[in-house]
Structure 1
Amino acid sequence: MADYTLFCAPDTYAMGAHAVLEEVQADYAVHWVHLFENDPDPAFLAASPHCRTPALAGPDGTVFETGAVCLYLAERHPEAGLVIPVGDQRRGAFLQWFHYLATTLQPDVIIQYHPEFYHADPTLQAQLRDSSMQRLRGVFETLNTALADGPYFFGDHPTVPDFVLGMQTLWDVIFPEGDITAYPNIARHRDAICARPSVQRMQDQHRAETARRKR
C-alpha cells in the first residue's frame, strides 16, 4: 500500500502537490476525481470538504489546500531541500512568497477561470475578469522582480513556492494578452521548473488522464 494517496483532477492546482510528490520521490497513488459533481466521490469528500483538489491522505490523516499539501510533503521529506528552515535568514522571504502566492495571486487566477463563483450576471462576470486582470498585472510585475536572480525564488534550487507558482504559470490565460514573455523572469522560471524530471513525470500523468477522459 502506498504511503500517500493524492486526490487529483487533471490540469488543476493539484499539479503542484503532484509535482512535489514526484520531486521528493514519495511512494504514492493517484485517486483521479471529477470536480463540480452533485454526487462527489465519498473518499474525496472525506478528504476535502469542499471537493477541491488537491487533497492528500497519508500517515497522519488527510490534508487539503495546495500550499498546505506541498509544505506538508516538503517537511516530511527534508532531504529534498524544498523548505528554507527556521533560523535561515531567508526563512521570512520563504514564508512571504509562500503566502503571497496563495492570498494574492491565486484568488485572481481563480476569477479568470470561474467568475461565476462570485456573480451570476454574465456582464458582471466580464467586469470581474477585467478588474482581476488589472490586479494580476501588478502581481506579475512583483513576481518578475522577485525572480530577477533566479531561476527560482532562492537561486538554483527550487523550494515549495516554486512548485506552487510554476504549476499556475502553465496556464497562459492568466497573463495579460495571454503572453508570459512580457515577464521574462517568470518565463525563465517556468522553463526551469518544467525542465525538472519530476514535473515532466507529473505532466505525463495528467496528459494521460485527460486523454482517457476524452475517449
Structure 2
Amino acid sequence: MKPITLYGHHAGPNLKKVIMVLEELKIPYEIKINPNGRVPAIEDPNTRITLWESGAIVEYLVETYDGKREINFEPGSPEHYHAKQWLHFQVSGQGPYFGQAVWFKIHHKERLQSAVDRYINEIRRVSGVLDGVLEGHKYLVNDKYSFADVTFVFWFEVIPWVAGHAVDLEKDFPNVHAWLDRMNHALLSRKS
C-alpha cells in the first residue's frame, strides 16, 4: 500500500483526529503542511481520492480501510449509523464551539467576555451531552471503542487552555473524564 498524503496544520485538533484514525488502522501516511491550515486534506494514491474536511476523511478511511471493523461497525447496522451520528455531532458541535472558544479567548484582538462566556457554556453543554450518554457505558456506541470516540479526543485538550477552572471535567463531567482516560490508555497500549 502506498502512503496517504495528509495535508494540514501541525497543531490542529482536526488534523490530529485524522492521524489518530490513520494510526489505529495502521495506514501508512506522510504529512505535508497545508499553508492555509484550515482543515486537513488527504490524497490517497491507492484509490485516487482527494478529500478535505476531517469528518469526511474519517468516514472515508474507516469505510475504505477498516474491513476487519477494528474501529467501525457493520455497514447498514444501527451501530454504524449511531457512530456516524456522533461523528456529525463532533464536527458540527464540539469542533466549532470549542474552536470559537479558542478564538475568542486567545486570538481575538479585543476581549469580548460575552463571546468567551457563550463558547465556554457551549463546551459545558457539549460535555454534558456526552456525560449523560456515557453514564454506565465505556464508549459512545455499543460499548465498543470506535472512530466515533476517537474524533472527540483532541478538542478536549483545549479545555484547560481556554476554560481554565470554568470547566473541570473530572468533577463536573466524570463520565467524560473516565472515557477520555480510557481512550488515552487504549492509545498508549496500542502504541507499545
Shorter-chain TM-score category?
Answer: 0.7 to 0.9
Q: 2:176 maps to which residue?
A: 186
Rounded to whole Å, the distance in 1 between the matches of 2:80 and 2:94 is: 20
Report the alpha carbon displacement of residue 127 of structure 1 after superposing the two structures with TM. Answer: 1.9
Q: 1:5 maps to which residue?
A: 5
Q: 2:128 maps to which residue?
A: 141
Is the 8 Å Cα contact of residues 194 and 200 (structure 1) preserved in structure 2? no
Is the 8 Å Cα contact of residues 112 and 132 (structure 1) preserved in structure 2? yes
Q: Which runs of 5+ in 2 are unaligned?
A: none
Q: 1:114 maps to which residue?
A: 103
Instruction: In structure 2, give the amino acid aligned to 1:5.
Output: T
SS at match of 2:42: strand
Which aligned segments of 4 or more residues in structure 1 are displaced greater than 4 angstroms? Answer: 198-201
1:105 equivalent to 2:85? Answer no
Identify the match of residue 170 of structure 1 among 157, 180, 183: 157
Is the 8 Å Cα contact of residues 42 and 50 (structure 2) preserved in structure 1? yes
Report the alpha carbon displacement of residue 170 of structure 1 after superposing the two structures with TM. Answer: 2.4
Rounded to whole Å, the distance in 2 between the matches of 1:154 and 1:102 is: 17
1:159 equivalent to 2:146? Answer yes
Identity of aligned residues (%): 21
Instruction: In structure 2, give the amino acid aligned to 1:6.
Output: L
Rounded to whole Å, the distance in 1 between the matches of 2:44 and 2:60 is: 10
Rounded to whole Å, the distance in 1 between the matches of 2:11 and 2:145 is: 21
Aligned Cα root-mean-square deviation (Å): 2.7
Q: 2:38 maps to which residue?
A: 52
Is the 8 Å Cα contact of residues 166 and 189 (structure 1) preserved in structure 2? no
Deviation track 1:102-148 (CA, whole Å, cap 9, x = no partner) reads: 112211101111139xx966143x32111111222222111111112
Q: 2:23 maps to which residue?
A: 22
| Aligned length in residues | 184
Is the 8 Å Cα contact of residues 124 and 167 (structure 2) preserved in structure 1? no
In the TM superposition, what are the counterparts of 1:121-140 in structure 2 within 5 Å?
122-124=110-112, 126-140=113-127
Report the alpha carbon displacement of residue 178 of structure 1 after superposing the two structures with TM. Answer: 4.2
**Greater length-normalized contact order (CA 8 Å, ≥ 6 residues apart):** 1
Report the alpha carbon displacement of residue 99 of structure 1 after superposing the two structures with TM. Answer: 0.9
Question: 1:121/1:197 Cα in 2 relative to 1: closer, same or farther (>3 Å)?
Answer: closer
Q: Which runs of 5+ in 1 are unaligned?
A: 34-43, 202-215
Is the 8 Å Cα contact of residues 22 and 198 (structure 1) preserved in structure 2? no
Q: 1:77 maps to which residue?
A: 65
Report the alpha carbon displacement of residue 168 of structure 1 after superposing the two structures with TM. Answer: 1.5
Q: With structure 1 as the length reference, what TM-score do the two structures score? A: 0.73
Deviation track 1:22-57 (CA, whole Å, cap 9, x = no partner) reads: 1000121122x2xxxxxxxxxx36xxxx53242211
